[in-house]
Amino acid sequence: MMTNMNGLALLKAVHTGQTKALPSMATIVVTALTDVGTLAAAMALDVNGLLTKPFSPVLVIKKLLLALVEKDVPPAHSD
């Protein structure tokens, strides 16, 4: 648990430029909470993905790839 701030507050701070993180970076919410209010609040903050616990490694990879495609992040090149 974060002191004085929950994950949704952190997400809002990132997306509104109140942190050193790029406001445009892809974000995926990971939560054990499944109530509609929390999930709607996360989606309203323009997240690129949502994972509810428990989740499989395959689902994590799928959500990461979808978030990167949505943000138009070019694939890494191996040299």
Alpha carbons 54 and 76: distance in angstroms, whole number: 29
Q: What is the pTM of this model?
A: 0.73
Contacts of 73 (CB under 8 A, 6+ apart): 26
- Reported as a single tens digit per residue, the pLDDT across 5-55 is 888 999 999 989 998 998 888 899 998 888 899 889 988 988 888 898 999
* Cα–Cα distance measured from residue 7 to residue 57, given in angstroms and rounded to the nearest whole number: 22
At 60, the pLDDT band (50, 70, 90 cuts) reads very high
